[in-house]
Structure 1
């Protein structure tokens, strides 16, 4: 649609353009201020959010590493992983064990009587019935609605008891369908039983009797109610898979120790890279054109980095190993990131192998101290969360300021338009009066000339 310009009939002025120019001139300074503050608050809020996310990731990573097993330099192996698997936890020590699995732990299974099919009605009494399912000293009650089918009974049972480790499934063969009850609990004394007023309890049969796992560890005969054995040897977790023999070994492995150290370095560098990205200064064509990032010079970021680096360089631990630099872990001056000197590491791990765990883990370990100094920044309602709340509130205030400015300029535009239109009308009237006077004077002059 073509644009049009409203021209004052009396004054000849382009009133709409004049008013728009005056309103724009009035709006420009405040609008520039709002735009600048909005952009700064938005970029700062985004940057704070990215740092908070990076810090949470870092804290999760070091929490996972903050266990004795991460830095004890031990690894576990099973000579036949099809017979048994093995993992280690805190308190483990090196050793070799001969394992023979003679019996796996099993769970209880029971079956109802056989029905025609899965849609057979198992409650024809005309009223709800109760099925009680017992296991050890615990009894569960399930309501079986009047007219319920085998499938519907299964759904009701699973809906109430699946979280308890008891499930029911419809099993069908040439003879018909039945409900088979299973349990995740294994070992002697966990038999399932059916009772109550439900027809399902009549004619139930046992399919599998629960039994303990039986195995020999270095010739010592042992039993477990589960195939996951966690208390036979301190710090050793054994998963029994099938009957047979295997050899379990826990031995020194500097590769696992190095992996944990590298994991810490990777986590630390990821956090520092995120902080660097929002605090760096980017140089332009000349020094005078250098520009800062969203949080360049930010006191909060500076304080966070100083807190973390303070713990990084702090001397702690017992024995001869007290700093990361002794392990070949150094800070790159230009970036602030960590790097591992392979040559120095290989020498240090032979010298300080037994002390490395204490440097990183435990109450006074580096990972615990790192967690503590960052807690105030990362926690709910902490420093970073408060900054986010403050910036969000600032953006809302700026939205209100923008709305107020728009209202003021709209009102100003209306006022100026009325004033200039009134002026134009007055000019038109004066021009009309002038024209009338001139017409009269010209007529008089002509009359005198005729005489």
Structure 2
């Protein structure tokens, strides 16, 4: 119920009753309201600061994961370039040796591709039973075919039940009818597919299919890749060749009539880019930490208001954990590269940020020949990136555990709800007090008005009596 509206001046008393009520209510409300405003401002700032920290840590973790990608190593000491990536691609590892290699691709590794006998169409009925798919000398993959099956439903059953093993099925119409065609992701000689168990779908993967409708391999049996490295002819069951040349992985792309030149050398620029990426990611995190925990200074050098997490023990603990990993020596190994400072990476004491001396880094790679050890320093077991990730776990959480920051956020959200309840209670109390005082002062004003009217009436009577006596 809304409070009665007081006039600016009491009609009966002439007093500023609205001002009196407001002053009395404010005297009761303002101390608590100011306290709630301060607590709400602090709570909101803390929630925002914790959110910024969580986002910065998550971004840093993502950057580390990218640099620590096993499928795309970021800290390789050597690089391999190819004169023709349309025929051969090459990747060097840290065990590579600088040099030039000549590679000619005579034949690519191929997979088995077989076809069933010809059927009238894809809706042709197929007998129920267990279809056994065998690849080379491996074990059979059983595929259950239910009653009422058609060529199309058999295709779907194979893809559902054998797809995880690299076997794929489809239906191809050769102009005279439909055939079930099976292919595999496995390449190389003696990986040919054979099918048994259901007579009308039987396929001998070592016999070529016939134009008359017989089953078999389509154009050729599976073959190994054949390639020549510096005059030596080699074979591989896969087009990804990892052991032909120590420290190099070849990806055979296409048959070539002329040799492709592979050049292996120091990956100085690539390493520099990756190290700079690490430095940038770390500095971005530290800048966020500094923003929420360190007071900035005005142009005169005077510190400003302390930020939300100034002096917070959790923030100090987090920063300390990360900094400790920067100076910890590489775990294990007998190499010369042990700490980041050898690569020109040092901490600026005033800010905690990292600075990267590009000249010192280049000298370490080109003259001290430390390029082959950078990968182990960052990506090795117990390397920098692994240790940094583990240092963040108590704060970010993971694997079913709640991190420190999430726990803090939960406490702050609870406090926020409590402050909201207190604000509602204060608003309710203020409204009730305003209504009560308004009613009392309205009643007082009405009573004073009546008394004034009675006074005026009595005065008038006496004045009339005095005038009558004077005239008599």
TM exceeds 0.5? yes
For 1:30-429, list aligned pairs within 5 A. Answer: 30-66=32-68, 70-89=74-93, 99-101=103-105, 102-110=107-115, 113=118, 134=133, 136=135, 137-141=140-144, 165=166, 182-187=183-188, 188-189=190-191, 191=193, 193=195, 205-206=215-216, 207=218, 211-216=222-227, 218=229, 219-224=232-237, 226-230=238-242, 236-244=248-256, 245-284=259-298, 286-288=300-302, 290-314=304-328, 321-349=337-365, 350-353=367-370, 355-363=373-381, 365-380=383-398, 381-429=402-450
Structure 1 unaligned regions, length at least 5: none
Distance 1:67 1:6, change over 3 A: closer
CA contact (8 A) 1:106 1:213 kept: no
Please give the alpha-carbon distance, in whole angstroms, between the structure 2 residues aligned to 1:132 and 1:143: 11
CA RMSD of aligned residues (A): 4.2
Normalised by the size of structure 2, how large is the TM-score? 0.74
Relative to 1, partners in 2 of residues 1:98 and 1:410: Cα closer, same or farther, differing over 3 Å?
Answer: same
Change (3 A) 1:282 1:253: closer
Task: Write the deviation string for residues 5-56 of structure 1: whole angstroms up to 9, x where unpaired.
Answer: 6324433445455434543443333222222222222222222222222223
Residue deviations 1:353-407 (CA, integer Å, cap 9, x gap): 1554454443454334333333322324222222222222222222222222222
Number of residue-to-residue matches in the alignment? 438
C-alpha spacing 1:328/1:189, structure 2 compared with 1 (3 Å): closer
1:343 deviates by 3.0
**Cα deviation, residue 261, structure 1:** 2.3
- Residue number in structure 1 paired with 2:208: none
C-alpha displacement of 1:195 = 7.2
For the 8 Å contact 1:279–1:295, the answer to whether it is kept is yes
Taking a change above 3 Å as real, the CA distance of residues 223 and 287 of structure 1, as seen in their structure-2 partners, is closer
Residue 82 of structure 1 deviates from its aligned partner by: 1.7
State the distance in 1 between where 2:117 and 2:452 align.
Answer: 109
Q: Equivalent residue of 2:346, what SS?
A: strand
5+ residue gaps, structure 2:
204-212
Partner of 2:207: none
TM-score, normalising length: structure 1: 0.77
SS at match of 1:81: coil
Whole-angstrom distance in 1 between the partners of 2:379 and 2:408: 31
The 3-state SS of whatever aligns with 2:368 is helix
Structure 1 CA distance, aligned partners of 2:330 and 2:240?
A: 38
- Structure 1 contact 269–338 (Cα < 8 Å) conserved: yes
